[in-house]
Amino acid sequence: MDKTKLLSIGTLSKLTGVHIKSLRYYDKIGILPPAYVDPDTKYRYYSFSQLHVVDAIQLCVDLDIPLKQFPEFAGSENREIYFGKLLARGTELANAKIQSIQDRLNFLHQVQEELLRTQRIQRGEGERVFLLPEKNCLVRPYSGAQNTVEYYRALNQLFEQLEQEELKPGYDCGLLMISKRGQTSRYIFLDVDTGKESREDLPGWMKLPASRYVFAQSSKSDIMKALQLFLDLFAPDRDTIVMEVEAISAVNDTSAPLFELRCSVPDKYPRQMRSEDATTIL
């Protein structure tokens, strides 16, 4: 073998900017075998054409394409590189990553809005009633409190159901109470992000309509407090929805979480909040 027409692994590393350890790893997983291995020294040597193979491998790395998929973009013995197919796959992955980042930004924006709203309620500023959009939820009958073993076990079952259906969780989860004609039903609920898709076929599926809610805060999980706190909002001639979730605050005390009660209100309920209307149950 005329090694003068080949590149040592060190030279290949310098020409491509790829570390020698990475080149050895590419050999190990079978996507860049050396053109020649000296039987005496065991040194690896590569052909000039393999420079293009290294470029293609690095493109996979840059595009987050798993290297185990590299053979899909290379012909027999890596003599042909299908750059068109490679770029198309990279574009698909990049768009998916952009969407994932946008979803995270939307989530962070929602959390920030919740934090600002909670702070305004605590200070007794602005409106005491907020409009919440329609929610798609999975629910299970549950009559206990949050932060118990039973609560987390039931919530985990809802997450497992969501995973089985390949759906994404939304922002909210917690306790739910619905009062109809003086009769109350209690559940644990998990907000579901379905986009425009409707999944009313799922067991436990419930759609909560867009509505205006009044808010209060409590140092203890007890959704039944709503019957006393919002007594004027429970009437036989209207349905009332109550949610209890963990409140978001700038500094969360994990040993003593704060809970937020939300109670749906009729259209004529006063919107403005005075300082004495900011309710915290101690």
**pLDDT per residue over 180-227, tens digit each?**
887 899 999 999 987 667 788 888 999 999 988 988 888 899 999 998
Write out the E strands in 160-282.
Answer: 168-180, 183-193, 205-208, 211-218, 240-246, 259-264, 280-281
Is the overall model pTM greater than 0.85, yes or no?
no
pLDDT for 87 beyond 80:
yes
Band of residue 51 on the pLDDT scale cut at 50, 70, 90: very high
- For residues 262-275, average pLDDT: 68
Closest by Cα among 144, 113, 132, 143 to 191: 132
For 8-27, the pLDDT digits (tens) are 999 999 999 999 999 999 99
Instruction: Identify which of 14, 40, 13 has the alpha carbon closest to the alpha carbon of residue 32.
Output: 13
Query: Does the structure show a pLDDT above 70 at 123?
Result: no
CA-closest candidate to residue 36, choices 63, 69, 7, 15? 7
Q: Mean pLDDT over all residues of the chain?
A: 85
Per-residue pLDDT at 105 exceeds 60:
yes
**CA 70 to CA 58: how far, in whole Å?**
10
DSSP class of residue 141 equals E
CATH number listed for the domain at residues 3-81: 1.10.1660.10
| Residue 263 reports pLDDT greater than 60 | yes
Which sequence spans correspond to the domains of the chain? Answer: 3-81, 97-281
The CATH class, in words, for 97-281 is alpha beta
